[in-house]
Amino acid sequence: MNYVIVDIETTGGNPSQGGITEIAAILHDGDRVVDRFHSLIDPERMVPSFITGLTGIDNDMLEGAPTFSEIADELYDFLKGNVFVAHNVNFDYSFIREALKFSGIEYNAPKLCTVRLSRKAFPGFGSYSLGRICGHLSISIKERHRAMGDADATAELFDLIMKRSPDVIYQTLKKSNGESFLPPHISRERFLEIPESTGIYYFHDKNGQVIYVGKANDIRSRFKGHFSSSSKDKMQLYNEIHDISWELTGNEFLAFLLESLEIKRLWPKFNKALKYNSWNWGLYQYEDGQGYVRFQIGKNSGNLKPILEFESHSEGWKYLMDQVAVFSLCPKLAGIQKTAGACYDYQIQKCQGACCHQESPEEYNQKANDFFASITGQEGAVIIKEKGIHPNETAFLYFEKGVFSAYGFLNKEDSYSDEFEILGSLKKVKHLPETKYILRSFFPKLSINQILVVK
């Protein structure tokens, strides 16, 4: 089996935007170095001054150098059929794969990361950056931050691992377990400890500081998804994350709420500002000339305040259709059916006939008011029941005037006399007005049995 040890220099950290300025590749047959490839490359853009300061590569040096597309076929012939090896392999691999793809060449190869291999072969060091690990192992780097200098040092490091701990390399390749996506400071064992459950999670840097907070229905799967692409932000996060912790919630609703609270509390460096979707559609209520209460899904113009808001017309429409069935409302008076006479549901005896005056306004409006009361409960004080973390428990989420105020978990076997006994068991949270938007988003998805209005 042959290995190709690669290092590149670039104009930036994003494979889809940054350009490669230099590439070095060293072919290793498992015993020794057998061939080399090296080229400066015209990135077809200006080299930033800070890159020149780091690498020494400037625009004058690249004048007359080939573009990547001009060396793509030769490079691909050198790479193909070999295991791709690099220090922080996802960085170099993603740049080269994107550049080859732009040149019309699809490239996929097994990968080995010398950061991860070094951690297994030489445990106990505080840092596994190329400069530090080479210093620890007395490997000299002749030209730091130049492609061939770094590639030579990485090849010597790889050769040392191959000779001292070959099983580390063979076992990593043999597993073929998708481990290559893992950040260099997260072990496979730690990854497998991450639960495949719903909750919030925290990424920590080397000092234990929280640098990102997220939510997921499957935290382990979401963790993997973070590093499946190679944008500039993802690569920076990839290199800085040293650990992950989590808090299970049992349901997505609570995960959304706690994520918002934790981002506001911690302000992690990799979290963007909290954004909330705009609700462009609303549910409106009015009384017609015959005294019947009617409902309508309409565009949220800002002139009239809707009693409930939705992200889309289809979301509002579906919610109203469901509630028509729950409260035995007339689909015509809810704006769902457009007919000249009685609605279709009356003809099949599902509607009581408010649409053709067979049901009095007083009788019908009582049902409409029950529906309205179930909605407006969220503007007062309301407890919402959700799935707990374990099958034998229920999560309780408490809102005051639409704002998330407390939560907790109670065993299903536990009995409680009223809502105030439930409230006494809940954990209070910091007041965050923005949680109103999360409640509005989830409220249409709740069943009437999940909502308990606190008098």
Question: Whole-angstrom Cα distance, residue 150 to residue 133?
Answer: 12
Question: Whole-angstrom Cα distance, residue 69 to residue 168?
Answer: 36
What residue type is assigned to position 102 of the chain?
F
- Using alpha carbons, list the distances in angstroms from residue 197 to 189, 248, 324, 390: 17, 7, 34, 11
Cα angle value 101/102/105 (rounded, 5°):
35
Q: Catalytic site residue 136?
A: no
3-state secondary structure 61-75: HHCCCCEHHHHHHHH
Question: Whole-angstrom Cα distance, residue 229 to residue 254?
Answer: 28
Question: Whole-angstrom Cα distance, residue 156 to residue 139?
Answer: 7
Beginning with the edge strand found earlier in the chain, give each strand of the sheet holding 243-248 in spatial order: 210-216, 199-204, 243-248
Catalytic residue among 28, 87, 145, 226: 145
Measured N-to-C along each axis, helices 114-121 and 147-164 cross at an angle, to the nearest 10 degrees, of 40
Alpha carbon of residue 319 to chain centroid: 27
Please return the burial class of 18, using the count of CB atoms within 10 Å of its CB with bins 0-12, 13-18 and 19+: buried
At 253, give phi and psi (nearest 5°).
Answer: -60, -50
CB atoms within 10 A of CB 234: 18
- Give the residue numbers marked as catalytic: 145
